[in-house]
Structure 1
Amino acid sequence: MKQDKLITVKEVVLKNYCPECYSNEGMQLTFKQRFIETTFYRRITNDIKHIISCKTCDSVIYPVQWDEHIERVFEYQKKAFTPKKASRQFKKPAYIIFALVAVALIGIAAILIYNGTTTEP
């Protein structure tokens, strides 16, 4: 079972005017990073999403609506943002499968070596 979700890594309050309600309070820039969890591993990816929203009028501000001030602030925050390092962490079931495969390979190798060294009279 694969669970794919976005984790909020950083939230920044912006002092820009909202293009919808013209309020200069309540604008928020949120950076989210993709997190994948399965039965065998947890993984943090390099996939970063961002969203600018206004908490005053409860609307999402899409890039088409940005003015030059919002775009400038976004570019600055994007450069200042450091995402979590991409990683993969295996869980207990994965290690059990790895161990079983290793034991099976060692057993097969031992059988092949034993059959190769015996001589028939």
Structure 2
Amino acid sequence: MKHKTHTLHTARLKNNCPTCFGTDGLEITFTQEEKETPFFKTPDTAVAEKLYCSTCNNNIYPVNWTEDIERVFDYNKKIAETNKQYLKVKPLFYILIVTAIVLVAAVIYILIPA
């Protein structure tokens, strides 16, 4: 099973970094994974977020967030639109279904005497 990661939304923040106190390096990114098998592909329900400071080259974890960062995070989370839940079926799935129907019809035709 393959996993692809799609970036939903990226924003530069003007808040102070809790680590280095710089105001120009914070960037928040919202991502969502998509699972792909030979039969179908579907997006994951969870959205991952990452806050990174390019000034001090650190990930900023939610434990260290200030109230201002949380407020801006909530705003950007509303902006980040998740991919709607869907199930995209691939051609191999249809081939297997048609083959199964033909096999069931053949077995029924052979077992039921005319």
Q: TM-score, normalised by structure 1?
A: 0.84
Please report the RMSD computed on the Cα atoms of aligned residues, expressed in angstroms: 1.5
Question: What residue in structure 1 maps to residue 66 of structure 2?
Answer: 67
Contact 1:14-1:28 within 8 A present in 2 as well: yes
Specify every segment of 5 or more residues in structure 2 that has no aligned partner in the other structure, as ranges.
none
Give CA-to-partner distance per residue, 1:21-48, whole Å, 9 cap, x none. 1111121111111111112222112121
Task: Give the percent of matched residue pairs that are identical in Structure 1 and Structure 2.
Answer: 34
Specify every segment of 5 or more residues in structure 1 that has no aligned partner in the other structure, as ranges.
none
1:79-90 counterparts in 2 under 5 A? 79-90=78-89
Say if 2:51 is the partner of 1:52.
yes
Question: What residue in structure 1 maps to residue 7 of structure 2?
Answer: 8
C-alpha separation in 1, matches of 2:67 and 2:79 = 18
Say if 2:12 is the partner of 1:21.
no
Partner of 1:18, secondary structure, is: coil
Give CA-to-partner distance per residue, 1:32-81, whole Å, 9 cap, x none. 11111112222112121111111222110000100110011111111232
Count of residues paired in the alignment: 114
C-alpha separation in 2, matches of 1:109 and 1:78 = 55
Partner of 2:87, secondary structure, is: strand
Residue 108 of structure 1 deviates from its aligned partner by 2.6
Question: What residue in structure 1 maps to residue 30 of structure 2?
Answer: 31
Question: What residue in structure 2 maps to residue 99 of structure 1?
Answer: 98
C-alpha separation in 1, matches of 2:34 and 2:57 = 26
